[in-house]
Amino acid sequence: MKKIIIPIMLISALFMGCEDENEAKNGLHKQGQDCLVCHGIGGSEDPTLSSGATVFTKLNALNSDSSSYAKGYTIRLLLSDGKTANYSSGLGDANSKTSAALGGYDFTAQVVNSSGKVVNSSATNSHNSNRLACNSCHTSRGVSNAPGRIINTKIQTNSDTPKQDNTSKDKNTSNTTNNNTTSTRSFKDDVMPVLESSCKGCHNPSGQAQGTKFLVTTVQETHTKVTAGNMLNLNAPANSWLLEKADGTQSHVGGVVLGKSSSNHKTIVEWITQGAKNN
Domain ranges in the chain are 36-151, 187-273
The better pLDDT of the pair 11, 41 is held by 41
Where is pLDDT greater, at 279 or 96?
96
Q: What is the pTM of this model?
A: 0.54
pLDDT tens string 91-142: 899 999 999 988 788 899 999 999 999 999 988 888 888 889 999 889 888 8
Answer for the pair 185, 274: CB distance below 8 angstroms, yes or no. yes
Confidence of residue 160 (pLDDT cuts 50, 70, 90): very low
Provide DSSP, 185-216.
Answer: PPIIIIIHHHHHHHHTTTSSTTS--SS-----
CA distance 262 to 1: 54
68 exposed, middle or buried (CB, 10 Å; 0-12, 13-18, 19+)?
buried
* Whole-number pLDDT of residue 86: 95
Closest CA to 268 of 252, 175, 55, 253: 252
What is the C-alpha to C-alpha distance for residues 230 and 232, in angstroms, rounded to an integer?
Answer: 6
Binned at pLDDT 50, 70 and 90, residue 23 comes out as low
- Report d(CA 277, CA 178) in Å as an integer: 23
Task: Give percent above pLDDT 90 in the chain.
Answer: 26
Q: How far apart are CA 68 and CA 96, in angstroms?
A: 15
Q: Is pLDDT above 70 for 21?
A: no
Say if residues 153 and 70 touch (Cβ distance below 8 Å): no
Return the higher-pLDDT residue of 56 and 178. 56
- pLDDT of 167 strictly over 50: no
User: Within its chain, how far is the Cα of 89 from the centroid?
Assistant: 19
